[in-house]
Structure 1
Amino acid sequence: MMEYRIGRSRKQQEEQAVKEATEGLVNPKLILFFSEADNFTKYTVDMKNLFPDSLIIGSTTFVGLCKEGAYKDTLIVLGIEEGIECYGDVLEEVDRYPLKYIDRIENCVKQFKNTQNTICFEVSSALISSEELILSTFSSVLVDKGIPLFGGSAGDRGNAEKTMISFNGKVMEKACAFVILKNLGGGIKLYRENIYRPTKWHFTATKVDIRNRIVYEYNDQPAAQVMAKALNTDIKNLPSYLDSYPLGRLIGNEMYITANQGITDHNGMAYHARVYNNSHMVLLEPDDYKEVLRRTREQVKRDIPNPSLTIMIHCLARSILFEKDGYLNDFAKEMGNTLGNYIGFAGYGEQLNQQHFNQTMVLAVFE
C-alpha cells in the first residue's frame, strides 16, 4: 500500500512554507516539489535540512497542480513514505555531454533485484535545447532493462527567463535530476494526450539544423513560406498563428507535437523540439480540448478505477491556454475527480521514453 502526502503552502517565509507543505511527513523515501523560481533556492536548502535522509528532487514551474486546483506562486510537495523502492541521481553538463554521467543511471538500476513495475521520472533544465541529449543517455541504459521513462523540462512564469532544478539540496541550471522508482503495490501506466488534430497539410523537412532546432526548408521550399501558405496568410502575419498551430512529427503510427518558437533568418522556422532531416510533419489545429480531456479521463478510469497516485506533466503552453479561457483551475479539479490524489507541474517540454515533445499532457498513474 502506497503511503504519501501531497501538501502546499503560500507562506511568504520560505522555512515556514516548507514546514507547512510537508506537515505530516515523517521519513519520506522520496520528495518531489515544485514552485516558482523566486523562492526555489531557499526551498531546496530548507527541504534538505528538514529531511536529510530523503531523496529530494525539485523543479521550477509555471503552476502547481493537484486535485484541489491550480496554484501559482505556491510550493507544492509530494512525499512518499511507503510503497516504493527508489534510487536517484543527477546528470550534469546536459547541454554538452550528459553521457559522461551515464554510470549514475547504471548504478541506480543495479540497486533493484528486478525492474518489474519500475519507471524513471526525470526533470531537466529548460531553454538550453538539451532534452534530446538527455533522452539518448537514458535510453542507452533503460531500453535494455525495459524501464519506461517520463518527465518534463522545468518551467517559469512563462517569460522564458530562468528555470531551475534541484537534487538533494543543490540547485542546478544545466542538469537533469532523476529517480528510478518501483511501485511495490502494482503497475504504472503511462498516458500521453494532445489537444490538437491533424490538418490536410503534410510536409517533409528537407534542410535542417538539428542541434539548434531549426528547419530551413520543407519540401525544398523556405519553411516559413510553406507554413504561411498552409495557414492562408503571409510571413509578416505568420507569428500570430504560431501558438495555436504547432506541427506534429510523425513516427510510424505515433505523432509528437513540436511547438513553434519563431521565424529565423532566411525564412526558416525554429522549434522547441528537434526536427530531423526527412522528418514527416503535419500541421495541427486546435481540437475541442474539453472533449479530448473527457475521453482521457474515461480511458484512465477504465484502466485503473482507483489509482493510488498520479504524477502529471502539463505543458506550460497548455496551462497558459487553459488559464486564458478561465479553465485552468476547473481542469485541475476535474482531473482530480478521476485521478484522486495527484501532483503536477508545467514546464517547457514533456518527455516519454525516447521522445521529447511539447504542448502535451503526460500522466504516470500508479495502481
Structure 2
Amino acid sequence: MTNADVIRRHYSLSHDPEVVADELYEGLYQEQTECVIFFCSVEYDLPALAEALKRRFGDTMLIGCTTAGEITPLGTCKGSITGFSLPKAHFAVEAALIENLHHFSFSDTSALLQQVMLNFNQKALLPVQGHSFAFSLLDGLSIREELVLKSLNDSLGDIPLVGGSAGDDLFFKDTQVFCGDRFYRNAAVIILVNTDCPFEVYSTHHLTPEDNKLVVTAADAEERVVLELNAEPAALEYSQVVGVPIEDLSINTFALNPIGVKLHDQFHVRSLQKVNDDLSLSFFCAIDEGVVLSTCQRGNIVEHLKQTLEELKKKVGQPQLVIACECIFRQLEIDQLDIRDDISALLKDYNVIGFDAYGEQYNGRHVNQTFSGVAIGMPNG
C-alpha cells in the first residue's frame, strides 16, 4: 500500500487564507483525491478562505462547515482549520447541497436525493448496501434538523447516517456549510461514501437518567421553546430541580446539568440553549408538550471516551481516521473540569478529526451532548 492509498489528515493554525490553503494542500492533497472534508473556525474571513481553498485545490471535491471548536491532529483546538482527504483507490463519494432550509420541501429534497443515489450507485466501488455510509453537515441555527433528517432517512434506506450541525463559537449568529466553491447559510450538505475499508458508525454519551422528572406542560414546539415545566415557569422549575440559582443559569451550567428523555429504551439528551426574559427555556433540538424529561448523572467523560475509542478499534482495527461530531456541551464540561489535555491525548492516539457541533445527527435522529461519527480502518489486504 502506498501513501496515495491512505486517508490523510492535516490542520492549520494560520489565519491567512493563502497560508491555510497552502498548508492544507501540502498535507491533504493526493494525486488521486476523491474528496476533501474540512472543519473551520468562524474566526476566518470565510469568503477569502473559500477563494483560497478553491484556487489551491482546483477541481477536487471540497466540503466543510464552520465550528464551535476543532478536533485536529494536535487534539482539541480553537481558531483553527482541520480536515482529511479520501483517496479514490478506496473511496467513492457523491455529495449534494440542500439550500433554503427555512422553506424545506420534502418533495424537492426527495427528487434531489433520488438523483444523488442514482449517481452514487454508478460510482460505487462495491455494492452500496453494507459498504456505504452517509455524513451530513447542517446549518446549526436553521432549526430544521428534524425535517431534513426525516427526509434523508426515508431516502437512504439501510445506509447508516451520521453528522453534525455547524457551529460559530457560541455566538449563535452565523453558522455555515461549504460545498463546491463557497460557504452557504440556511443549507445542508449530504455526503454519501462507499468504501472497501472497514468502518463503524457510532453515537455515544456518558450520561444516565436520574429519578427527577420535568414534564413539559407548555411549549412552542416550532421555536423549540419550553414555557412551563411541571406547570411552573420553565427556568424556575429547572433551577430548583438541579439546585442552581436562576441567576447563575448559563450555557456552562446547562452543560454540567443536562436533561433528557427516554425513547425506545434509549436515553437522549435534550440540550438547553438559553434562559429567555419570560423565564422560558430555549432548546437545541425538538421539544413539545407532554414530553417527560429527566435530570442526568454525568459519568467519567475521559474513561468513557477511552472505552468508546477502544471498542471502535476492536471493530475496525487501528483506525486510519475517526470522524467525530462532538457536542459543544461536552467541550464546555471538559473545560470546566480542566481535562482538555487528557481528552486531546486520546483523540490524537486514535486519529480523530472533527468538530464541536450544535447538535449531532444519527440514523434519522437529531441528538445532543454526544460523541458521534464514523471510524474507518485500513483496507483489507
Is TM (by shorter chain) over 0.5? yes
- Residue of 199, 207, 210 corresponding to 1:199: 210
Pair 1:230-2:241 in alignment: yes
What's the counterpart of residue 41 of structure 2?
36
Pair 1:19-2:22 in alignment: yes
Mapped partners of 2:248, 2:81: distance in 1: 39
- 8 A Cα contact 2:41 2:79, kept in partner: yes
Tell me, what secondary structure is at the counterpart of 2:137?
strand
Counterpart mapping for 1:215-364 below 5 A: 215-232=226-243, 235-239=246-250, 241-264=253-276, 267-337=279-349, 339=350, 341-364=351-374
Deviation of the 1:307 alpha carbon: 2.1
Mapped partners of 1:77, 1:263: distance in 2: 35
- 8 A Cα contact 1:92 1:98, kept in partner: no
Deviation of the 1:238 alpha carbon: 4.7
- Residue of 78, 82, 85 corresponding to 2:92: 85
- Once the two structures are superposed, residues 93-152 of structure 1 have per-residue CA deviations (whole angstroms, 9 ceiling, x without a partner) of 11231533332222111221532221111111112312112212212211xx21111111
- Residue of 6, 9, 29 corresponding to 1:6: 9
What's the counterpart of residue 159 of structure 2?
147
Equivalent position amino acid for 1:3 in 2: V
Deviation of the 1:265 alpha carbon: 5.6
What's the counterpart of residue 151 of structure 2?
137
Equivalent position amino acid for 2:145 in 1: E
- 8 A Cα contact 2:10 2:73, kept in partner: no
Corresponding pairs, count: 362
- Once the two structures are superposed, residues 226-275 of structure 1 have per-residue CA deviations (whole angstroms, 9 ceiling, x without a partner) of 32332245645555743321211211111111111233465432211111
- Call closer, same or farther: CA 1:238–1:10 in 2, change over 3 Å: closer
- 8 A Cα contact 1:98 1:133, kept in partner: no
- Residue of 189, 194, 200 corresponding to 1:177: 189
What's the counterpart of residue 135 of structure 2?
121
Mapped partners of 2:153, 2:309: distance in 1: 29
Deviation of the 1:314 alpha carbon: 1.2
Deviation of the 1:220 alpha carbon: 4.2
Bigger shift: residues 281-290 or 214-223: 214-223
Pair 1:109-2:120 in alignment: no
Mapped partners of 1:301, 1:174: distance in 2: 36
- Call closer, same or farther: CA 1:331–1:55 in 2, change over 3 Å: same
Pair 1:63-2:66 in alignment: no
- 8 A Cα contact 2:242 2:295, kept in partner: no
Tell me, what secondary structure is at the counterpart of 1:73?
coil
Deviation of the 1:219 alpha carbon: 4.2
Tell me, what secondary structure is at the counterpart of 2:7?
strand
Mapped partners of 1:74, 1:222: distance in 2: 40
Which structure carries more helix by proportion? 2
Q: TM-score, normalised by structure 2?
A: 0.87
- Unpaired segments ≥5 residues, structure 1: none
- Call closer, same or farther: CA 1:81–1:108 in 2, change over 3 Å: same
- Once the two structures are superposed, residues 286-343 of structure 1 have per-residue CA deviations (whole angstroms, 9 ceiling, x without a partner) of 3221222232233223323322322111112222332344433431331332x2x331
- Call closer, same or farther: CA 1:301–1:79 in 2, change over 3 Å: closer
Q: Over the residues paired in the alignment, what is the CA RMSD in angstroms?
A: 2.3
Equivalent position amino acid for 2:201 in 1: L
- Call closer, same or farther: CA 1:231–1:70 in 2, change over 3 Å: closer
- 8 A Cα contact 2:25 2:57, kept in partner: no
- Call closer, same or farther: CA 1:41–1:330 in 2, change over 3 Å: farther
- Unpaired segments ≥5 residues, structure 2: none
Mapped partners of 1:39, 1:252: distance in 2: 44
